[in-house]
Structures are given as C-alpha cells and as structure tokens.
Amino acid sequence: MSLLVVGLSHRSAPVSVLERAALNADTQAKLLQDTLAAEPAAEAAVLATCNRIELYADVDKFHAGVAELSTLLAQHSGVGLEELTPYLYVHYEDRAVHHLFSVACGLDSMVVGEGQILGQIKDTLARAQELHSAGKLLNDLFQQALRVGKRAHSETGIDRAGQSLVTFGLEQLAAGQSVDAWAQGKRALVIGAGSMSSLAAATLARAGVAEVVVANRTVERADRLVALLEENYGHSLNEAGTAARAVAMDAVADELTRADVAISCTGATGLVLTAEAIRSAVAGRTPTAGSEVPGSTTPAAGKAGSDSRSAETVRGGFSVEGEAAVAGFDAAALEQHGAWVDNAPGEQVRLSEAETIAALAVAGRVPEMRRERTPEPVRQVALALLDLAMPRDVDAAAHRIDGVRLVDIESLADASADAPMAADVDLVRTIVADEVAAFGAAQRAAHITPTVVALRTMAADVVASEIARLDGRLPGLDEKQRAEITQTVRRVVDKLLHAPTVRVKQLAAEPGGAGYADALRTLFDLDQETVAAVSRATPHEAEGKNRGPA
C-alpha cells in the first residue's frame, strides 16, 4: 500500500472554485466513508481548510487511486469532474509526505508560517480516528506532521513570516496603521461563534474596540463567547473596558447600522451580508475618525470551510492559542469554546445547487496570476468588512459601495503574495526534508518487521518441535537438564538470526529496501498468510509474540 493525496488549494485553483468545492462536516464524513468503500483505498483522511481541500488515502494502485479519489472529490464537492480536474494536484509516496509536512509548517499557507494549520491537521486526524478511517499509516503520518510543524515553530523564526488570517485581515483593513490604533473606540460586529470568530472577537477586544457584538444562529453559543470576552476584557485594557453582548442572527441588519467594523465567518452556504443590506447600513453615515484609507480592495470570493485552532502555543506566532496567549486571553477556554461550537450539529444551511451557483457567480482567480494594480485615491470608510468564510459570507459587490472597505479571502491571498519571505523559511524547508527522509526510513523499516517477526516465530516453532522430539528420544532427562538444553538451543537460534535480522532492518530502511522483505520470505520459505497475520496484529502484539533477544 502507498500514500496518495489528491487536492486543490489557493495555489492551484481560483477562489470561486474553492468556494464551490467547500465541504461541510457531514459531507467530509460521507466522503471518507465512500473512499473506504472504494476498491483502491484502505485508509482515508480529509484536510479541509479555508484555502485547501485534500483527500489522503492509502492505496494499492496509483492510477486507479488517482481516478477514484478525483471522482469522489468531484461528486462530494458538487463541482463537475471535468471542471475540477485542471485545478487538482497529485502527490504520491514521499512527495505526499513532503507536501503534508510543508503544509503543517505553514510553508503552503496563504500567509506563510501561520500556525492555525496545526489545529486543522489535528482536527483532521481526530475526525478520521472517530470515523475509523485512519489506520496505522495515516495515524503515523498525521501525528508526525504535527510534530514536524511544532518543531518548525520552536526551532526557527518562521512565526515572524506568518500570522493568523484574522490578524492579517485586520492589518489590511487598517491600511498602514497599527491595528491597535485603528481599532481604538470602534464598534465591532462578529458574525459566527466558532473558532475563527472567537479569535476575531478576542483580537478586537485586545486591540481596544469599545464594543463587540456577537451574532450567531444559536444565541447560547454567542452567549458563551460573550461571557469569555467579558471575563477577560471587561475592564482589563482601559478604564471603560470592552463591552460585549450577544444577539440573534435576525438582529444583524440592525447591528450593522451601528458597527464600524464587521467580521464574518459562518458555516452558511448563502450570503450572510448582501450588498443591499450593507448599502442600507451605511446610508447617510459619517466615517469614524482615522478611517481614511487607500481605495477599495480587489473584489473576491472566499469562505472558510473549516474553522481553525492550534493545539500548541508557538513562540511568537499567531495560532488560536498563540495569539490568545499573547493577548492575555484564557487560551484554553477559547479553544474549548471553539471546539464546542464547531462540533455542534445544526449550524449549517445548505442551498440548492442552482441557488449556490447563482450566489457564487462572481469569478475568482488564481492568486499567483495577479493583475497589476494602480494606486487608488484615499477613501472615507464608514464600515470595514472582513470576510473569512468559504463560501463567502459577504457579497463581493460590497467593495463598490461608497464608505465600505471589504477584505476577503482572495484579497488576503493577493496581499500575502506581496509579503517578503522570512529567511527562516529555508531552515524550515531543511527540517521538512530531514523529517521526510526519517519518516520514509521508519516506514520502510516497519514494513519488514512482520517478516522478521514471522521468521522468529518459525524459528521458535522449530525449537519447540525439536525439544518435543528430544523428549521422546531421551525420556529420562530431568527438568533441570531439559531446561538447560532448551535454553542452549534457543540461544544458538537467536545468535544465528541476530545479525541477518538486524542488517535486513537497516537495509530495508534505505530507499529501495522494500525488496529485502520479499527476499527474506523467499529464502526461509515463510508463509505469506503468516506474515499478513502479523501485519494485522497491533505493534505491541507483533513485537511481543515469540520474540527472543535481539
């Protein structure tokens, strides 16, 4: 069996395609089930984030695996295979490992070095384990990817090159000002109560906004987030503190008329803020102080298909826990709230395919294929909008409304392409290369373990058979003599097997070493079924059963 990944991301596909291909939690579960039911796949996992959708599988046939996984992605995303295929990329075996490790380190992120992807990888593994779609290969792979990502953040300065999409988006809205200076005294509306929305609310409160209003379909979830904000930010930053309150989704239009900045990241498929609602919200309003910024952002589509949270506080980084720790927020409570919301049922609304396509008619583009931009005149901004959702929550036409500044997933991709790369990126690439080589060696060495265990099992059976025959020929042996003879025979067998088994493990760990297992089975005439039975056993059982000293 071999590792295969088929996927698309912001590097390979326009946002309009990513937007339509976004998978909700139920669709991801069905995709995993159907992948396991497909003939070429034995294990499967889906990594779905705001800018990538990837299907990982352990397959026994490369070409059949690519065809099957591509077809399944098309079926479950609702994007036709012919349309989807040009945007798909394929990685196999070591290249697939290299790709995931690079993703885990933030090298393949829209904002290079961001730490949120670690939380998304952790969620991917947890989902695959819960659905029993991850076996030994994918468990080992994703656990190692998490370790590699953490190592990259702890041993290099990759965090200096990356930040969360929330922070990066707010920097784009601030347009040259510091986020703290830009946010002072503003009234903020946060739509959604998942992990990304929780991070946005905490970041705004830390920056010094006067009020944070949290809107969510289930008010109870908004209330939980508000309670956390009040506990941490009520009077900790300034004399007045940051006020926080929760409202239902039907109050969004009214709250928008009072908001200076709105951040939206929900699981809805349709638009949450239409151009008409936004135009009504800013009608007759005077921009707040300090809101003069260069012209509008490039229109775009985008919708964060999965909320993101990181399981570790990384040095200088901006993962959910990392940024919360910097802000003095109760990081554990924030992540617990995000997990509670993200795993709760009943939040998503699915439109018909025709309605969805009509709502997503604005064409996207590949971020790398950016058109040249000319400086635009300074604009007065009454309402700043940050859309971190996929499919998008905010109508892309909002950028044409006077007094509105919109930043969304595609404009963030465009802006991040202009950001300078950190020197530490090269160090991270070296770490990834080393870890890929180590993982491959470990997997190849593990591949021969069942054969070695089967060989030792056969040797133990031969010893037992010969001792039984000796008992028949020399029935007068006392227990002490019999035990000494048995131990001597076992020591001889172990010493004869020690050097070849140790050496074959070393050779098998090298590239191209897979053939040594076949040679060992042939030389010692080992039963393939016996080897397969050992392979199906747990590692503890395989190592412990009939094993003599090395």
Sheet strands (E) in 133-260: 187-191, 211-216, 243-248
Q: Is the pLDDT of residue 72 over 90?
A: yes
Average pLDDT over residues 9-14: 88
Instruction: Determine what percent of the chain is predicted with pLDDT higher than 70.
Output: 73
pLDDT score, position 348: 42
pLDDT score, position 540: 43
- What per-residue string of b and e applies to 12-51 under the rule 16 or more CB within 10 Å gives b? bbbbbbbbbbbbbbebbbebbebbbebebbbbbbbbbbbb
* CB of 71 closer than 8 Å to CB of 47: no
Instruction: Determine what percent of the chain is predicted with pLDDT higher than 90.
Output: 34
Amino acid occupying residue 103: V
Find the range with the poorest average confidence among 151-155, 179-183, 245-249, 512-516: 512-516
Average pLDDT over residues 454-468: 86
Calculated CA dihedral for residues 448, 453, 459, 464, nearest 10 degrees:
-170
CB neighbours (10 Å) of residue 220? 11
3-state secondary structure of 402: coil
pLDDT score, position 416: 67
Residues with a known catalytic role: 50
Percent composition of the chain: helix, strand, coil (DSSP 3-state, to 5): 55, 10, 35
Measure the CA–CA gap between 113 and 99, rounded to whole angstroms: 15
Measure the CA–CA gap between 269 and 272, rounded to whole angstroms: 9
pLDDT score, position 354: 35
Any residues with CB less than 8 A from the CB of 207 and at least 6 apart, and which? 170, 179, 180, 182, 183, 184
Q: Is the peptide bond before 299 cis (omega within 30 degrees of 0)?
A: no
| Pairing relationship of beta strands 89-92 and 52-59 according to DSSP bridges | unpaired
Q: Is the pLDDT of residue 514 over 80?
A: no
Give per-residue pLDDT as tens, 356-408: 233 333 333 333 333 344 444 445 788 999 998 878 899 999 988 999 999 98
pLDDT score, position 358: 34
pLDDT tier at 79 (50, 70, 90 boundaries)? very high
Question: Which is it for the CA torsion 265, 266, 270, 275, positive or negative?
Answer: negative
52 secondary structure, DSSP code: E
Q: Is the pLDDT of residue 249 over 50?
A: yes
Higher-confidence residue of 274 and 236: namely 274
Q: Is the pLDDT of residue 121 over 50?
A: yes
Q: Is the pLDDT of residue 94 over 80?
A: yes
The reported pTM is 0.57
Give per-residue pLDDT as tens, 515-532: 777 777 777 777 766 555
Measure the CA–CA gap between 261 and 282, rounded to whole angstroms: 11
DSSP characters over 88-120: -EEEETHHHHHHHHHHHTTTTSSSTT-SHHHHH
- Top mean pLDDT of 132-141, 313-322, 379-388, 518-527 is at 132-141
Q: Is the pLDDT of residue 316 over 70?
A: no
pLDDT score, position 299: 40
Average pLDDT over residues 459-470: 88
